[in-house]
A and B are shown apart, each in its own frame.
Chain A
Amino acid sequence: MSRAPITVTNLTGGYNGTAVIHNCNMQIAAGEIVVIMGGSGSGKSTFLRHLIGLKPPMEGDVQLFGESLYSVDEIARLRLLKGIGVAFQSGALLSSLTVAENVALPLIEHSELDRETIGVIVRMKLDFVGLLGKEDLLPSELSGGMLKRVAVARAIALDPRLTFMDEPSAGLDPVVAAALDELIIKLRDTLGMSVAVVTHELESAFKIADRIVVLDRGHIIFSGSVAEIKASSNQRIQNLINRIAEDEEFDPETHLRRLVGEA
């Protein structure tokens, strides 16, 4: 049995019986930053939901720290999930709680620490993401970048061995995006954390990744280093990294039929 933070074996999954992810295999080693890339509709978000325990696969398995995530009961799955951190694209902070209460939540629920110690840890995590002093704000009072950083602080509150981040720099200005990239690298370098980042931001991916996994139409078509992806001869990968639109055959007649709703 593998003890890697996460091992994905022959994963096929999707919605309502329709497969969106096909026979994917992946492993993330301890202290590794893996960037999962792909264009819109490539299945990144669905893949992530399978990895973080929110969606049972149609086939295959996901193992967290050597234990199967989906062949255990709900309580055992929740216990396994305590070992990971997830920063959602939207932040998904509890809107009725303040910033400090959001970050403190996993500590209150899963540790025996007293309030004072939890308060210190919360301030440390907020300092780590550059938000010390914002403890008493509500999520509705935060900017998009701040929401994402609070989500990261909450995700790392329990110092998990593996953290997932969904589009951490999407929609952020370049300065904040760069700060988040630095933060991810800091998590690996200072805490030895494994980080899986789902993104389509090429610049960010090339900056932080130890390894890049490319999803295309639900298939993993590439897994390798930044240097390897740049040198790849695969046309679809080159299209992705050089931002070239897919070369669909253009038939004026079919296009016209589509416009008038006949096709």
Chain B
Amino acid sequence: MEQRLDRLAQRVADTGLTAIQFVAFVGQAIRLIMQSFHLLVRGPSIGQPVRLRHVVEEIISGGIQSLPVVILMAATIGIMLSIQGIHSLRIFGAETQVSFGLALSIPREFAPLITGIIVAGRSGSQLASRIGSMRLNGEIDALTVMGISPVRFIVAPALIGLLISLPILVAVATVASLTAGQLYIEATIGIASQAFWADVLSVVTMVDLAHCFGKAVLFAFLISLIGIVMGLGVSGGAEVLGRATTSSVVTCIGAIIAADTAVALLL
């Protein structure tokens, strides 16, 4: 009986600790967002400007370098959806309607989700390992004692870079996915390109695009902040850095899927 009570108490304590850590994590993330935007606006007048060069570097490393894999994955998803769509709709003799299925699902759901997951695996882990490694090497302390705010030098460029690059990547992924789907559909059931795009444009609304780019912005916040906060939390040694890097990817993907589900349910 006593052992059971001990175990129960331990579980309650562990749950409480996890809850506190979660709140601290969210608090730090919100603080970093506020500091980043404050420095973006007020930085030049207080001697802490966020450099355009650093933002561009982040756009290149987080965005442009992800383009090939995003295009490849998006195109693959477009073809897979076309295959499955044609297969399912053929049961009802409605396979010619497959373009509507692609138009309704890719911009709204698949393009942001796939792009988010790819960027989380690439940029989220890169951020966590880069910032964690900088912490271990004392580089963040060095920036501080040089009078350079680490938030404006590291955090703000990474956050803003991803807020710019992820919507662009999602737009590219949408086009790549729909194009690949169109090519497959034309090759298999003979729907012409013009007819396909006319169908797509007839059903995609501004609300769908708002979903698409709204999710991109939401995922950009999640990926960058999880990577940054986990990187900043690294202390000790290489093992902790490795754990933080792995953990950042898992957390980013989990957060993206949870956020995507919440958006789908609520909107």
Q: B47, B137, B147: which contacts A95 (Cβ < 8 A)?
A: B137
Question: By the criterion of a CB under 8 Å from any partner CB, how many residues of chain B are at the interface?
Answer: 17
Contact indicator B139/A86 (Cβ below 8 Å):
no
Pairwise interchain contact B139-A84, C-beta atoms closer than 8 A: no
The residue that B138 contacts in the complex, of A74, A78, A90, with Cβ under 8 A, is A90
**A186 close to chain B: CB less than 8 A:** no
Residues of A within 8 A of B148 (CB): 78, 105-106, 109
| Interface size of A in residues (CB-CB distance below 8 Å) | 23
Q: Mark A84-102, 1 if CB is under 8 A from B, else 0.
A: 1010101011110000000
Contacts A75-B46, A78-B48 hold; do A88 and B147 have CB atoms under 8 A apart? no
Among B133, B134, B138, the most chain A Cβ lie within 10 Å of the Cβ of B138
Asked if A54 meets B141 with Cβ closer than 8 Å, knowing A75-B46, A79-B47, A95-B133, the reply is: yes
Q: Which of A92, A94, A110 contacts B147 (CB 8 A)?
A: A110
Q: Which B-chain residue is minimally distant from A76 (CB atoms)? A: B46
Are A95's CB and B139's CB within 8 A?
Answer: yes
The residue among B47, B137, B139, B144 with the most chain A CB atoms within 10 A of its own CB is B139
Q: Which A positions have Cβ atoms within 8 angstroms of B?
A: 52-54, 74-75, 78-82, 84, 86, 88, 90, 92-95, 105-106, 109-110, 154
> What are 19 A-to-B residue pairs whose CB atoms are below 8 Å?
A54-B145, A74-B149, A75-B46, A75-B149, A78-B48, A78-B147, A79-B147, A80-B147, A81-B146, A82-B47, A86-B146, A88-B142, A90-B138, A92-B141, A94-B134, A105-B146, A105-B148, A110-B47, A154-B146
Smallest CB-CB A-B distances: 8 pairs: A82-B147, A92-B138, A92-B142, A86-B145, A81-B147, A78-B147, A52-B145, A106-B146
